[in-house]
Amino acid sequence: MNLDDMILVSIDDHVIEPPDMFEGHVPQKWADQAPKVERSPEGIDRWVFQGIETSTPFGMCAVVTWPKEEWGFNPGVFSEIRPACYDVNLRVRDMDAGGVLASMNFPTMAGFNARTFCEADDKDLALIMLKAYNDWHIDEWCGSHPGRFIPIGIVPMWDPELCAAEVRRLADKGCKAISFLEAPHAFGFPSFHNEHWDPMLTAMSETGSVLCMHIGASGGLITLAPDAPVDHHIILPTQLTLMALQDIMFGRTLRKFPDLRIALSEGGIGWIPYYLERADRHAKNQLWIGQDWSDRMPSQIFRDQILACFITDPAGVKLRNEIGIDNLAWECDYPHTDSTWPNGPEQLFGEFTAAGATDDEINKITHENSCRFFDFDPFKHTAKKDATVGALRARATDVDLSTVSKAEYRARAEAAGRETVQV
């Protein structure tokens, strides 16, 4: 296989929601109470809901095409970031330029756990807006380009019965993925070790939905030195995925719900062989604890129910068969600082080549496993011959991939007469 022959499906990218996203998705009665983008006195665009600024930073890490010295967690205004971050038509063009056929886009303003709505005082209004968010994401963002996006929804975590109802509603709309906290107890919610989440997990099992546990939600479980560098907050979250897996593996979740599928989002894969070996050894040796592994050992549960993804992970690719070739998938992480866009195909193919991966193995990791796991068929809309890296890039040769500073993006917006809080 050549690099241009690969078909890439990324199961972890991010959308920076446009300011007008709620228009047409909120009943007129509550339209004026929908979240809005406002300019702060400091000149920063921010989402405000029920009079409170959302705790999720606007445009977090949306740095693609910026000079690396300008990277950071929080761009200031819409006009400073690449328009493809929030314009779906331009996003698809960027996907073409990066050789990516399809993408799953995690939320930003809402938070991975619908945090914006969970923190609101009026939960009835919050539920209306949460549903409107999901409808915008499925019907407008994903629906505008069939076969190019795997839809992912959010649920009202303040009530597990409402979570279950939203899971079923989303499944009826064709959305079979849910963004969720990898460690809910880190944010004051009940853990996975009791029955609290059972209504939602039951609904997910019955609808064939995937629980996507994204990194970044378990940092509160560890104590860092007060003078630790910012590097810790970027490197350590990928390692904390192990803690999330431990909770669902040695707790009740995966054995109670053998049909439940879970995706570990952005946690990497190189650590998994050691973990599975350690987990199996523990299960065999520590019989006094009373865990029942009579049907399946931990490694088998993992291979039956888990999908793990990576951006770049040479060690993990070399150990692909020790992990389970059917349990691996690729991600691009557009538009964040870890993203390999637009050179993801070159990075990934180099790792496959170094590891001696076969064509069948490459196909599984690049798209087949993801499509199977999320019950997603992009080839209903795009023929395979038109879905390859080479074919997609051939139709996007006019996309500007040059480095552009924040100031230059802002100048371009001003020259076009565009308000910085408008799409």
Give tens-digit pLDDT for 178-194: 999 999 998 899 999 99
Between the alpha carbon of residue 42 and those of residues 39, 77, 212, 421, the distances in Å are 8, 11, 35, 14
In angstroms, the CA 263 to CA 177 distance is: 9
pLDDT at 366 over 80: yes
Residue burial 82-109, b: 16+ Cβ < 10 Å; e: rest: bbbbbebeebbbbbbbbbbbbbbbbbbb
Between the alpha carbon of residue 108 and those of residues 85, 99, 188, 318, the distances in Å are 11, 24, 20, 33
Contact 361, 40 (CB under 8 A): no
- H-state helical runs in 208-266: 231-239, 241-250, 253-256
Provide the pLDDT for residue 421.
46
Provide the pLDDT for residue 348.
98
Q: For residue 150, which phi and psi values (nearest 5 degrees)?
A: -95, 115
Q: What is the mean pLDDT of residues 311-340?
A: 97
- H-state helical runs in 46-191: 88-97, 115-118, 123-135, 160-172
Higher pLDDT, 288 or 64: 64
Provide the pLDDT for residue 75.
66
Band of residue 54 on the pLDDT scale cut at 50, 70, 90 = confident
Q: How many CB atoms lie within 10 A of CB 278?
A: 11
- CA dihedral defined by 342, 345, 351, 356, rounded to 10 degrees? -170
In terms of CATH architecture, what is 3-416? Alpha-Beta Barrel (3.20)
Between the alpha carbon of residue 336 and those of residues 62, 101, 293, 402, 422, the distances in Å are 5, 19, 40, 17, 22
Residue burial 290-314, b: 16+ Cβ < 10 Å; e: rest: eeebeebbbbebbbebbbbbbbbbe
212-271 pLDDT, tens per residue?
Answer: 999 887 777 788 899 999 888 878 887 889 999 999 999 999 999 999 999 999 999 999
Between the alpha carbon of residue 201 and those of residues 48, 160, 179, 207, 368, the distances in Å are 31, 9, 13, 10, 25
Percent of the chain with pLDDT over 70: 98
Domain boundaries, the chain: 3-416
pLDDT at 420 over 70: no
Q: What distance lies between CA 36 and its chain's CA centroid?
A: 23
82-100 pLDDT, tens per residue?
Answer: 999 999 999 999 999 999 9
Higher pLDDT, 389 or 59: 389
Nearest-5° angle of CA 162, CA 166, CA 167? 115
Taking the alpha carbons of 25, 30, 31, 37 in that order, is the dihedral positive or negative?
negative
Q: State the chain's mean pLDDT as an integer.
A: 94
Provide the pLDDT for residue 416.
85
How would you class 345 by CB atoms within 10 Å of its CB: exposed for 0-12, middle for 13-18, buried for 19 or more?
buried
Q: What is the mean pLDDT of residues 115-130?
A: 96
Provide the pLDDT for residue 326.
98
Q: What is the mean pLDDT of residues 356-376?
A: 98
In angstroms, the CA 376 to CA 102 distance is: 10
Partners of 214 in the beta sheet?
A: 181, 265
Q: What is the mean pLDDT of residues 351-379?
A: 98
Locate 245 and state its tokens.
């897996």
pLDDT at 42 over 90: no
Q: What distance lies between CA 1 and its chain's CA centroid?
A: 28
